[in-house]
């Protein structure tokens, strides 16, 4: 056998080149298939089948290359092609190009794979590096025979939390969440999962005579392994309690640094007070604030004041008093002047004692926010700056992180980031979860919003707000089932008859459903239980408007504006003056005279725009007044152009009423009314009420507001309002059925009700 001749013939027939091209191509195919099979979720048998097919094809391709030749006339058997007419050289050159091309792709694939593997490795390394050790400090148990060392054990736990929170490269579960397990003997794996931590530090305190024994142990959550434990015996006196806490916390931190590979020498305890009794009162006050119950807030203020009476240099306690007054102003009953004075006085004292105290700046932010009833831009900026400063000083304090998030604009993505950061640190804190629910609802992520509310109820059954939130989910878009919502709200009212949120929600729902006697009962309860809380203003105002008691409605608002010292000539005062004159049926000349005196800029020939959104919002009412007194057309047209132009700047969908946001639709509704465009007004109202299911708008003022004079009697406008009335009546009927089943319908029945 002449091997040289065989090899020569194999070369001539391009068998080697076919083998090379096939091998490279086949390998490349196998690599690509194995790379994409997992992302594409291909079945497990897919890869082996492709590999087998590629392997089977290899000898077939060689046989094919030996037996056949591609000629200009097509595929022919090699034995039938004369040597002098063979084109195997040309075919060989083509195969060379194929081999070079495939080889190039092969090299590129190797490089890309290498780079991605390297990136993946780096990413995994970065993840490993960035994955901080995590720990929860559970409240140390008081195991003293008399059980009289709870304040000391809580204080030691609090001290450890404060120290660990200052360590940069460790994640520490927040106090609210950790103290949730106080006195409970829950499984550590469950606790670790709920708090999102890998390690738990727990311990006990036992006092006997003049000795105190403190035991601490570090446990790995996954397997319950005791990584470290230690017992400390100390001489106990009333004067050295803080020294013991400080010493023990330092020793425990030193051990944690070793066991968890934590390296941060800057973490150390901050001495809040030198009085053990003051510290005990401070801890009690903190615990009382968690669920925001008015009576608990009042008790918390007493505890913080007690702390200050025992140590008048206790800066943190002053800050907590200020914050507590803010909570009482929002959730309870307190005169606004008294609230603001106490907030400001205590903030100033806290900052005087420690001008780097994050909680003091947070309290200052609450002060500016609460007193900003006129939506003063200066106060609003001060609020934002104070909360930002608080966050900069205490970036790991979950409550301050949440408050900083509150100060950001509702549509700012950073807001949800702050809430999520706070939640990660303190996953069981009720107010943080509620803020997440509120924000996800605003972002129209309703499933997430509902999930957080339900989880909050499960974890924090004493926190009422998420229960109300779920009712609000029923009564607002995309559900807007006012009848069903009324039933659930009334059930909540029976269970929590003096809760301000429940009373306000039920009053507003009742007003929308024309169940005026229910709304008035809620208003009377609010007035009785919360006479100083401003929340009753809106409820009482609606009740007066529903009864067309315009004189008392004006008197109510006037009294409120006087209480908040509304400046003469302010934009809000302008709105009130126009409203007062419209309702009191005074001539529009009265409003016109007020405008001319306090806002002459509105008559300027050179006026082209307003920077103030408040002034923009009042323009439809100003234009209505100007029309009633026959102000020159060019002045009216100028103001209408400004209002229309500013509205168009809010457009995100070129004015498409099926897509624009609700606040833009409301402006478009005013423009339609001002232009006398009854058709457009009807279309927008239909979109808003029926398509968007925004059914909570109280339209009682429609019949008396001069803004709608030009379109009120148009057939299409009457028709859409008739449809709305029918829909509201159908929802009211469900509420009536419930009230009848409870045997209380007769006391709420109106003269025209069946």
CATH number attached to the domain at 134-259: 3.40.50.10610
User: Which value, to the nearest 10 degrees, does the dihedral of the CA atoms of residues 506, 509, 510, 512 take?
Assistant: 160
Q: Give the three-state DSSP class for 532.
A: coil
Q: What is the pLDDT of residue 121?
A: 40
Taking the domains of the chain in order of start, what are their residue ranges?
3-127, 134-259, 277-497+505-511, 569-741
Residues 6+ apart with CB under 8 A from 313: 273, 353
Q: What is the pLDDT of residue 612?
A: 82
Q: How many CB atoms lie within 10 A of CB 393?
A: 17
Burial class of residue 581 in the structure, from the number of CB atoms within 10 Å of its CB (0-12 exposed, 13-18 middle, 19+ buried): buried
Q: Give the C-alpha separation, 705 to 625, whole Å.
A: 11
pLDDT digits (tens, 9 = 90+) for 182-221: 888 888 888 888 999 988 988 888 887 778 888 888 888 8
**Higher-pLDDT residue of 210, 135:** 135
Confidence tier at 512 by pLDDT (50, 70, 90): very high
Bridge partners (DSSP) listed for residue 216: 203, 230
Q: Give the C-alpha separation, 16 to 498, whole Å.
A: 92
Q: Give the C-alpha separation, 360 to 276, whole Å.
A: 22
Q: Give the C-alpha separation, 678 to 685, whole Å.
A: 10
pLDDT of residue 642 exceeding 90, the answer is yes
Q: Which residue from 216, 214, 230, 205 is spatially nearest to 146, judged by alpha carbons?
A: 205
pLDDT digits (tens, 9 = 90+) for 713-750: 999 999 999 999 999 999 999 999 999 999 999 999 99
Mean pLDDT of 667-694: 95
Q: Give the three-state DSSP class for 334.
A: coil
Report cis status (omega within 30 of 0) of the bond before 539. Answer: no
Q: Looking at the chain, how many residues does it have?
A: 754
The mean-pLDDT minimum among 92-106, 144-158, 584-598, 643-657 falls in 92-106
Most confident of 122-131, 234-243, 394-403: 394-403
- Mind giving me the DSSP string for 611-651? S-HHHHHHHHHHHHHHHHTT--HHHHHHHHHHHHHHHHHT-
Q: What is the pLDDT of residue 43?
A: 64
CA distances from 255 to 216, 239, 244, 245, 259 (A): 11, 26, 17, 15, 6
Q: Give the C-alpha separation, 327 to 294, whole Å.
A: 8
Mean pLDDT of the chain: 84
Maximal C-alpha separation, the chain: 123
Q: What is the pLDDT of residue 101?
A: 60
Most confident of 120-134, 512-526, 686-700: 512-526
Q: Give the C-alpha separation, 526 to 417, whole Å.
A: 36
Q: What is the pLDDT of residue 128?
A: 37
CATH class label, 277-497+505-511 = mainly alpha
The mean-pLDDT minimum among 29-33, 309-313, 508-512 falls in 29-33
Number of H helices and E strands in the chain, helices first, is 32, 8
Percent helix, percent strand, percent coil in the chain, to nearest 5? 65, 5, 25
Mean pLDDT of 593-607: 94
Q: At what angle do helices 294-310 and 315-331 cross, to 10 degrees?
A: 160
Bridge partners (DSSP) listed for residue 171: 134
CA angle 184, 188, 189 (to 5 degrees): 135
Confidence tier at 357 by pLDDT (50, 70, 90): very high
Structure tokens at 687: 């979109």
Q: What is the pLDDT of residue 530?
A: 93
CA distances from 447 to 118, 423, 460, 519 (A): 38, 18, 20, 30
Local structure of residue 584 (DSSP, 8 states): T
CB 738 within 8 A of CB 513: no
Structure tokens at 344: 């400001």
The mean-pLDDT minimum among 23-27, 47-51, 82-86, 191-195 falls in 82-86
């Amino acid at each position: 056998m002449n091997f040289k001749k065989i090899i020569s013939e194999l070369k001539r027939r391009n068998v080697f080149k076919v083998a090379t091209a096939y091998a490279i191509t086949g390998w490349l195919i196998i690599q690509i298939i194995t790379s994409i099979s997992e992302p594409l979720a291909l079945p497990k048998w897919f890869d082996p089948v492709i590999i087998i097919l590629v392997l089977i094809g290899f000898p077939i391709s060689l046989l094919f290359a030996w037996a056949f030749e591609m000629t200009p006339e097509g595929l022919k058997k090699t034995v039938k092609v004369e040597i002098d007419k063979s084109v195997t050289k040309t075919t060989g050159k083509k195969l060379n190009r194929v081999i070079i091309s495939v080889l190039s792709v092969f090299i590129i694939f190797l490089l890309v794979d290498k780079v991605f593997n390297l990136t993946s490795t780096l990413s995994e390394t970065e993840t490993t590096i960035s994955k901080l050790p995590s720990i929860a400090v559970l409240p140390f148990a008081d195991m003293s025979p008399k059980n009289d060392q709870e304040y000391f054990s809580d204080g030691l736990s609090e001290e450890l939390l404060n120290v660990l929170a200052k360590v940069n490269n460790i994640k520490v579960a927040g106090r609210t969440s950790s103290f949730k397990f106080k006195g409970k003997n829950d499984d550590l794996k469950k606790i670790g999962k709920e708090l999102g931590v890998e390690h738990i530090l727990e311990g006990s305190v036992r006092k006997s005579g003049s000795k105190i024994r403190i035991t601490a142990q570090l446990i790995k959550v996954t397997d319950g392994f005791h990584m470290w434990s230690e017992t400390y015996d100390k001489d106990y006196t009333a004067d050295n309690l803080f020294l013991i806490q400080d010493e023990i916390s330092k020793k425990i931190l030193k051990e944690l640094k070793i066991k968890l590979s934590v390296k941060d020498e800057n973490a150390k305890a901050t001495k809040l007070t030198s009085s053990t009794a003051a510290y005990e009162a401070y801890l009690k006050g903190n615990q009382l604030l968690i669920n925001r119950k008015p009576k608990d807030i009042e008790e918390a203020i007493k505890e913080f004041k007690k702390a200050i009476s025992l140590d008048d240099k206790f800066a943190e306690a002053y800050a907590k008093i200020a914050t507590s007054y803010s909570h009482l102003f929002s959730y309870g009953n307190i005169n606004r002047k008294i609230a603001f004075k106490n907030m400001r006085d205590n903030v100033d004292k806290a900052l005087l004692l420690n001008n780097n105290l994050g909680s003091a700046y947070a309290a200052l932010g609450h002060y500016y926010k609460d007193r900003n009833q006129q939506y003063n831009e200066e106060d609003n900026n001060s609020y934002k700056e104070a909360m930002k400063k608080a966050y900069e000083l205490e970036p790991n304090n979950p409550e301050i992180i949440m408050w900083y998030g509150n100060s950001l604009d509702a549509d700012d993505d950073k807001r949800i980031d702050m809430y999520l950061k706070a939640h990660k640190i303190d996953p069981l804190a009720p107010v943080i979860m509620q803020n997440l629910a509120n924000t996800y609802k605003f972002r129209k992520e309703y499933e997430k919003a509902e999930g957080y509310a339900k989880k909050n109820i499960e974890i924090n059954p004493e926190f009422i707000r998420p229960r109300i939130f779920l009712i609000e989910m029923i009564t607002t878009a995309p559900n807007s089932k006012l009848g069903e919502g009324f039933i659930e709200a009334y059930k909540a009212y029976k269970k929590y008859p003096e809760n301000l949120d429940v009373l306000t929600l039920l009053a507003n729902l009742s007003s929308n459903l024309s169940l005026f006697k229910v709304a008035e009962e809620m208003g009377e309860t609010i007035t009785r239980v919360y006479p100083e809380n401003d929340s009753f203003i809106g409820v009482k105002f609606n009740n007066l408007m529903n009864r067309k008691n315009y004189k008392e409605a004006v008197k109510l608002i006037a009294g409120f504006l006087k209480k908040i010292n509304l400046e003469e000539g302010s934009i809000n005062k302008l709105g009130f003056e126009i409203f007062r004159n419209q309702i009191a049926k005074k001539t529009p000349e009265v409003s016109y005279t007020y405008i001319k005196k306090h806002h002459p800029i509105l008559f300027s020939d050179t006026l082209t725009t307003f920077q103030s959104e408040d002034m923009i919002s009042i323009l439809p009412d100003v234009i209505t007044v100007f029309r009633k007194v026959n102000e020159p057309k060019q002045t009216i047209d100028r103001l209408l152009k400004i209002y229309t132009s500013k509205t168009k700047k809010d457009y995100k969908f070129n004015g498409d009423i099926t897509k624009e946001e609700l606040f833009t639709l409301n402006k478009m509704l005013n423009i339609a009314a001002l232009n006398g465009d009854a058709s457009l007004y009807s279309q927008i109202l239909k979109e808003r009420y029926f398509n968007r299911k925004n059914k909570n708008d109280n339209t009682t003022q429609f019949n008396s507001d001069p803004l709608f004079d030009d379109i009120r009697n148009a057939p299409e406008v009457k028709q859409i309002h008739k449809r709305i009335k029918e829909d509201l009546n159908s929802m009211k009927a469900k509420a009536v059925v419930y009230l009848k089943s409870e045997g209380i319908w007769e006391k709420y029945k109106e003269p025209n009700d069946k």
